[in-house]
Structure 1
Amino acid sequence: MPATKTLPQCAEDAIETAINEAADEDPVVLWWDDGGYLRDVVERVSHSLGCEFHAAEQTPLELRADAPRDRTVWYVPQAHSDDVDWFKDVENTGGAIEAHIGKLGARCFENDRIQAASIRTAYEDADESDRKQVAKTLFQELNGEGGLPTIQGLQTKIVLDGHDDPVQFVLEHGAENLPNNSEDLLKIRDLLVDDGVAAVEGVTDEDVLVTRTRRWAVAEWLVEEGLEKSLLDAEYRPESSSGLGISRPELQSLLSKVDSERAEELAHVYLDPDARFWHDVLRTYDDPWELADCPVDASLEHELWDEWTQSFHDGDYETCATRASTRHQRLETTYGDVPWTHVWEQAVEVAKLAHELETWEERGDTTDVVDLYGDVDEGTWQIDNAVYNLIISGEPENALPEEHPATATLDDLRTSLAESRYLDYLSDLGDLVVDQIEDGSPFVGENYAHQFFDQEQEHLQSGQSVALFIVDALRFDLAHELAESVRRDLPSLEVDETPWVGTLPSDTEFGKAALTPGSKFSFNIELDDGELVPERNGREISNYQREKMLKDDGWSYIMQSEDDESGWSSTRVAYYWNDLDKAGEEELTDFEGVFSDRIEKISDIICEKIDQGEWDRAYILADHGFVSLPQNVDIDDIHPPDEAEKVTRRWVAGADLDEDTPGVLLDENAHLGYLDDDTKISVLADPIQRFRNQGLPDARFYHGGVLPQEFVLNFVTITQE
């Protein structure tokens, strides 16, 4: 039966009655409130009735300081005591009200005073720590905002510390917040039974009550996803839906409402391997993936992983990717950022990488390495990106309970793919490059980086405003990530990606020298007194000369630094970012993680500058890419030939090199368009080979050779749509 009045209405009735029954025409009404939870209510009602209001802050005697002249309500936030006789005159000439929030709350139920007495008793019997919560519940439910409760609903909230759903209360809080006294515990049990949790009938132990309620809720969700009811014990079989409206399993409803922090805590409850709710049923279930949309019960989670691993070993990688994605999405939606979510997210990447590695050789004409690797939609650059993402995603299984089967299997899968199988892929790709170069004229018809200014002169010299973002060591896949970030952050812009052949050798001094103004015939590389030198119009392109050439051509030249704000107002800007190459050379063990941070940073800079500027066109360019090898690789150090005049770790140069030189020979037969006739360069394509030379061993991060990762570049063009 619902309440008929609110707390303010009952307070108003009490004060009006006291005034009407008082001997004085302008009486003082004294309100004793045990606990002091009605002050705001009494004060508002007093003012609405035209009465002055005074409250005792420290002692009731404060109210005697000033004699009242009009109708007044004196409020004392404590219980009345017969030992105190300070207000006998007020009681005789005015009125006295003894009502705490529990007593006033009971008066709100005029039509059921007998049942309403339990409201008063609940407040009076509560200890000091619980009384505040009871008062809070009474105020929230009876203050007149949002309708009036029933007695049963209010009793439920009092027992459940303000919660109105006994099932969800137990599912969320467990035994932690259950009442200490057995009478209230039995009330909760009976409420659970009334709500359909037959499994707790007759239970008197709080831990058993929680375990059975949670087991019942997990069963309800499993049945919702397709588990046959007959597999469950009778008392755990959920009742059939009435068909009226839309209902969800109790546990699903709860998890959809909690915040992210609480969801993470509940993940450790419902995926706890020590609480396998339906292990005997699930371990023998024919197809656990039928139930994959149920994100609770560690037994189901473990069965799913074991089945997924078996499919992976069977080579069914596409199914593995689809299933892992399904499971990841469900766990992420339910729990957010938790270890289980991360493991399945990595499982998606593992399956995709395995599929890419298995099928890459079947991608059409493998004689065109640039197209094979650099096709924006289908290129094998996606393999490198998958390995990169796999490495930076770390070892999420280490955060799982050790009983989870992923702790014993995921590392082996990851290592096999990102190390041995990836290395085989690099080796095969290197062989294809060697074959293509040795066949002569290897990259005919491709875009060459040294021709960029000449090829794009229609846009660069037309009076349009242009920004160049030249990023050192921007591998194809990382350039794609930058392109995607621009698409996300600035959706009104047109973003295109195009493969370009970088300058060989794939080192910084040649790659940056190539990206300078001049015709495609004005660039060349030649040996000069034992040094390999890039030139434009017969002049060596040093860092100083490159800056001068750009400035003479009307470009504002900006280097990445702490103070790089000047120059952006120019209509033509060339901005250089060198952090990637530097990070790769310095972070020899974990440069992928550093790269991830750097890519995010340069992405923010590019998007900010493009958004703030009003350029007609912008480009994201690279001087070269790089190769990242697995953690544990034995490098094959080879001796450079005696004829080599210049020796680096990935290439040697000399006028008298021949075909017997290790690596693949770049000479006039390669028709690159920029090698001097007397200059020969032998470049390594084998991923683990290095020429013996001084300096750091660059065991993991390197460039300079002719693997596509080193020289096939992704130039991004950004225009107004």
Structure 2
Amino acid sequence: RLPQQRDFYKNHVKKSDTRVAVIISDALRYEVGSEIKEKLLKEANTKEITLTGMLTSLPSITSLGMASLLPFSETLSFDISEKKVTLKGIDSRSTENRESILRLEEKESSATTFDIFKNMYRNEQEEYIKGKKVIYIYHDTIDAIGDKGKTESKTFEAAETAVSDIVGMGKLLSSLGVVNIYITSDHGFLYERKEIEEHDKLELKNSYSILGKRYALSSERYEEKGCITLDLGGYYGVFPEKNQRIKSLGSGLQFVHGGISPQEMIVPLIKYRGGTNSTKSRKVNVKLKESIGKITSNISKFGVYQLDPISIGDKVVERDVAIALYTLNGVKVSTEEKIRLNAIEENKLYNFRLTLSGTHEKVLLKVIDLDSGDILDSKEYEVNLSIASEFDF
């Protein structure tokens, strides 16, 4: 018997005696989760990794699935007219509100989106997780593509992107010192590459509070041909017995979810514990691009090389740097360029422009590590704004 999705927090997060990060990817089907596990085994330094399944609530939709992964899911309240789920009186549909719900159970909790966390600088990521016991990160690639009629044909590509995204996030969290990482989803999906034919569409004869492509909800019990009616506690759900779609308003019939098929209801649960090696990871090395040692314009072009490729096997990790012009006494006198050096090829060149302010005879171009504050490379320039040069732009 599969464990229930609504017991996830109680059985895994609450019982952990160390910090926990949970990556929740919308519409991550079990088979895609299996690919993530295999890729982590090949690419990441894993101490332990397991894949099991969990059974969603019904209907297998985002609002219920996301709420079920939070604390207090046993007492959730589902409003079938709005597909709204409240926990402890809080609407659980936004990331901000989910963080509030998490903090009711564990004060040192946070919730954010995949894009926001990924695009932070390394020092910001470290600061974000500092002191946290529970971190929820929400990812939405598959559902964002598949749930729209215009883009649902790109579901396979979205699944590939999701695998890459989540494996990368797992490795990133591990490099930040998070030991216990869970990867799971709110629901799965059904997908047909070909157009859905008319005989695979069901037209229901009764009126429903909510009519989806794979489910219908009502406060009254109705029976429909080719469907199963289930008592869901306070309301009734009607679900196609097979993989047919229900006729309803809106486009998109190839990518669907909400029904009772295993592909929709069984979600992956990956438990990933990052391993440790005797070899400590190091950041990529950097070097300023060679250039004429003169500045002849307020706006000048410079370059910096990332000498090493990012490599999990060689334990070479990304580096965040800030680059600006300074007086010889250490006063910043230009705009500042922040760059994340995370290329997978060696000798990657990053070009940028800086705007110099004030009047100076000489300045120093400095590359500074954002985490440590160390000066990684520097070069002195003479300033003569009266000379024009073809190398300035």
CA contact (8 A) 1:467 1:574 kept: yes
Q: Is it true that 1:690 corresponds to 2:242 in the alignment?
A: no
Q: Is it true that 1:713 corresponds to 2:283 in the alignment?
A: no
Q: Structure 2 residue aligned with 1:568, among 102, 120, 129?
A: 129
Displacement of 1:590 in angstroms is 3.2
Q: Is it true that 1:701 corresponds to 2:255 in the alignment?
A: yes
Structure 1 partner of 2:379:
none
CA contact (8 A) 1:447 1:500 kept: yes
Structure 2 partner of 1:446:
2
Whose strand fraction is larger, Structure 1's or Structure 2's? Answer: 2
Displacement of 1:650 in angstroms is 1.3
> Within 5 A, what are the aligned runs for 1:65-144?
none
Displacement of 1:449 in angstroms is 0.5
Tell me, in whole angstroms, the C-alpha distance in 1 between the residues paired with 2:196 and 2:93: 35
* 1:156-211 alpha-carbon deviations (Å, 9 max, x no partner): xxxxxxxxxxxxxxxxxxxxxxxxxxxxxxxxxxxxxxxxxxxxxxxxxxxxxxxx
* 1:354-387 alpha-carbon deviations (Å, 9 max, x no partner): xxxxxxxxxxxxxxxxxxxxxxxxxxxxxxxxxx
Structure 2 partner of 1:589:
153
Structure 1 partner of 2:101:
549
CA contact (8 A) 2:6 2:74 kept: no
CA contact (8 A) 1:526 1:534 kept: yes
> Within 5 A, what are the aligned runs for 1:603-622?
603-610=167-174, 612-622=175-185
Tell me, in whole angstroms, the C-alpha distance in 1 between the residues paired with 2:177 and 2:15: 15
Structure 1 partner of 2:76:
523
Displacement of 1:575 in angstroms is 0.6
Displacement of 1:478 in angstroms is 0.6
Displacement of 1:661 in angstroms is 6.0
Displacement of 1:720 in angstroms is 5.2
Structure 2 partner of 1:286:
none
Displacement of 1:581 in angstroms is 0.7
* 1:531-582 alpha-carbon deviations (Å, 9 max, x no partner): 4442334654332432321244332211122564242343421111011111
Tell me, in whole angstroms, the C-alpha distance in 2 between the residues paired with 1:720 and 1:593: 28
- Give the secondary-structure state (helix, strand or coil) at the position aligned to 2:260: coil
> Within 5 A, what are the aligned runs for 1:280-291?
none
Q: Which has the larger radius of gyration?
A: 1
* 1:82-106 alpha-carbon deviations (Å, 9 max, x no partner): xxxxxxxxxxxxxxxxxxxxxxxxx
Structure 2 partner of 1:498:
52
Whose helix fraction is larger, Structure 1's or Structure 2's? Answer: 1
Displacement of 1:658 in angstroms is 2.5
Structure 1 partner of 2:206:
642
* 1:273-328 alpha-carbon deviations (Å, 9 max, x no partner): xxxxxxxxxxxxxxxxxxxxxxxxxxxxxxxxxxxxxxxxxxxxxxxxxxxxxxxx
Displacement of 1:638 in angstroms is 2.6
Displacement of 1:609 in angstroms is 2.1
Change (3 A) 1:453 1:563: closer
One-letter amino acid of the structure 2 residue matched with residue 597 of structure 1:
T
Structure 2 partner of 1:467:
21
Displacement of 1:598 in angstroms is 3.2
One-letter amino acid of the structure 2 residue matched with residue 548 of structure 1:
S
CA contact (8 A) 2:205 2:224 kept: no
Displacement of 1:451 in angstroms is 1.2
Structure 2 partner of 1:512:
66
- Give the secondary-structure state (helix, strand or coil) at the position aligned to 1:504: coil
Structure 2 partner of 1:624:
187
Structure 2 partner of 1:486:
40
Tell me, in whole angstroms, the C-alpha distance in 1 between the residues paired with 2:5 and 2:36: 19
Displacement of 1:662 in angstroms is 4.9
Q: Is it true that 1:679 corresponds to 2:232 in the alignment?
A: no
- Give the secondary-structure state (helix, strand or coil) at the position aligned to 2:158: helix
Tell me, in whole angstroms, the C-alpha distance in 2 between the residues paired with 1:662 and 1:540: 34
Tell me, in whole angstroms, the C-alpha distance in 2 between the residues paired with 1:702 and 1:615: 34
Displacement of 1:625 in angstroms is 0.7
Tell me, in whole angstroms, the C-alpha distance in 2 between the residues paired with 1:525 and 1:547: 19
TM-score, with normalisation over the residues of structure 1? 0.34
- Give the secondary-structure state (helix, strand or coil) at the position aligned to 1:653: strand
- Give the secondary-structure state (helix, strand or coil) at the position aligned to 1:512: helix
Displacement of 1:510 in angstroms is 1.1
One-letter amino acid of the structure 2 residue matched with residue 488 of structure 1:
K
One-letter amino acid of the structure 2 residue matched with residue 574 of structure 1:
Y
Tell me, in whole angstroms, the C-alpha distance in 2 between the residues paired with 1:506 and 1:546: 19
- Give the secondary-structure state (helix, strand or coil) at the position aligned to 1:589: helix
> Cα RMSD (Å) of the superposition?
2.3
Tell me, in whole angstroms, the C-alpha distance in 2 between the residues paired with 1:531 and 1:562: 28
Structure 2 partner of 1:559:
113
One-letter amino acid of the structure 2 residue matched with residue 666 of structure 1:
L
Identity %: 20
Structure 2: stretches of 5+ with no match in the other structure: 276-393
Tell me, in whole angstroms, the C-alpha distance in 2 between the residues paired with 1:595 and 1:458: 30
CA contact (8 A) 2:45 2:274 kept: no
- Give the secondary-structure state (helix, strand or coil) at the position aligned to 1:561: helix
CA contact (8 A) 2:40 2:46 kept: no
One-letter amino acid of the structure 1 residue matched with residue 263 of structure 2:
Q
- Give the secondary-structure state (helix, strand or coil) at the position aligned to 1:719: strand
- Give the secondary-structure state (helix, strand or coil) at the position aligned to 1:459: coil
Tell me, in whole angstroms, the C-alpha distance in 2 between the residues paired with 1:719 and 1:448: 22
CA contact (8 A) 2:62 2:187 kept: yes
One-letter amino acid of the structure 1 residue matched with residue 186 of structure 2:
D
Displacement of 1:657 in angstroms is 2.3
Tell me, in whole angstroms, the C-alpha distance in 2 between the residues paired with 1:637 and 1:660: 13
Q: Structure 1 residue aligned with 2:220, among 629, 650, 656?
A: 656
CA contact (8 A) 1:658 1:665 kept: yes
Displacement of 1:716 in angstroms is 0.4
Tell me, in whole angstroms, the C-alpha distance in 1 between the residues paired with 2:263 and 2:129: 32
> Within 5 A, what are the aligned runs for 1:47-66?
none
Q: Is it true that 1:536 corresponds to 2:87 in the alignment?
A: yes
> Within 5 A, what are the aligned runs for 1:194-273?
none
Displacement of 1:663 in angstroms is 2.0
TM-score, with normalisation over the residues of structure 2? 0.61
Tell me, in whole angstroms, the C-alpha distance in 1 between the residues paired with 2:274 and 2:211: 46
- Give the secondary-structure state (helix, strand or coil) at the position aligned to 2:184: strand
Tell me, in whole angstroms, the C-alpha distance in 2 between the residues paired with 1:456 and 1:642: 41
